[in-house]
Structure formats: structure tokens, C-alpha cells
Amino acid sequence: MSLAKKLLIILFSGIIALAVFILCIQEDTQFSNVENCMSRLESTPLFSEYNLYCGSCHTRGAMGAPRLGRYKDWNDRTEHSKLVPSYRALAGIGRMPAKGGNHHLSDEEFLAISNFLVSSVEMCNEY
């Protein structure tokens, strides 16, 4: 094999290694953004109520529930208003029963928690 060919192979593998390295770093940064955003949300006063009453569906997106802090899940729903989704959820929408089944919550309590959920995307930027 000529020296030129060997150099070419070395250069080529170098480029691939760099590309893989960059991809790994990007994934890491994305992951730490998610972690940062979740820890910010967790230190918000209404998080514990959210977690208790809504978390079972909204943290992982059970039954298609829009997820906490996920911009993409909320983008279409909040396009015209941030209040409308909360009022729809209060009455029950799709597979979500009224108030998520938490009938002991007053409307005001439900709406406050819901506002936390709907606004959670603002703490998570583009995630």
C-alpha cells in the first residue's frame, strides 16, 4: 500500500472518530439540559401537588397525555391560549377524566396546578 493511501485511511478514520465524538457530546448536553430542567421544575412549589395528582399520566405521557416540560407536547395545545387547555382539562378531555379524577381539588386548586404544568415548558426551553 502506498504511503498516500495509508495517510488517506488514517485521515478518514480520524474524521469518523471525530464525528462519533461530537455526536456523543451532543447527546450528553441534551441529556444534561433535560436533567437541569427537571431539577428546576422539581424545586418549584407546586411540583409536589403536580406529582401527586397528575404525575402518573403527565410525567411519562401515559395514554398520550402531554408531558411535563416537553415543549413539543404543548406547542399545538397552547398556540392560542395558555388558559384554554387548563379549562378543558378541568372539564375532562379525551381520555383524561375531569380534574384527572382528583375530584377533591377545588377548581382554583386544579387550575393552579394545571398552570404549573402548562407553563413548565418555559423552564425547559426547546426540549
CA distance 35 to 28: 10
Contact status: 117 vs ligand HEC (CB under 6 A): yes
Residue 96, beta-bridge partner list = 93
Query: Which of 10/91 has CB closer to ligand HEC?
Result: 91
| Residue 38: alpha-carbon gap to chain centroid | 8
Contact status: 118 vs ligand HEC (CB under 6 A): yes
CA distance 101 to 42: 23
Q: Give whole-number Cα distances, 92 to 58, 62, 97, 106, in Å.
A: 14, 15, 5, 14
The C-alpha cell 402531554 sits at 66
Query: Which of 117/124 has CB closer to ligand HEC?
Result: 117
CA distance 103 to 64: 21
Kindly identify the residues of this chain, within the stretch 34-93, that bind ligand HEC according to CB under 6 A: 53-54, 56-58, 62-66, 77, 85-86, 88-89, 93
Minimum distance of ligand HEC from residue 103's CB (angstroms): 11
Query: Which of 36/87 has CB closer to ligand HEC?
Result: 87
The contact set with ligand HEC (CB under 6 A) reads 53-54, 56-58, 62-66, 77, 85-86, 88-89, 93-96, 99-102, 110, 113-114, 117-118
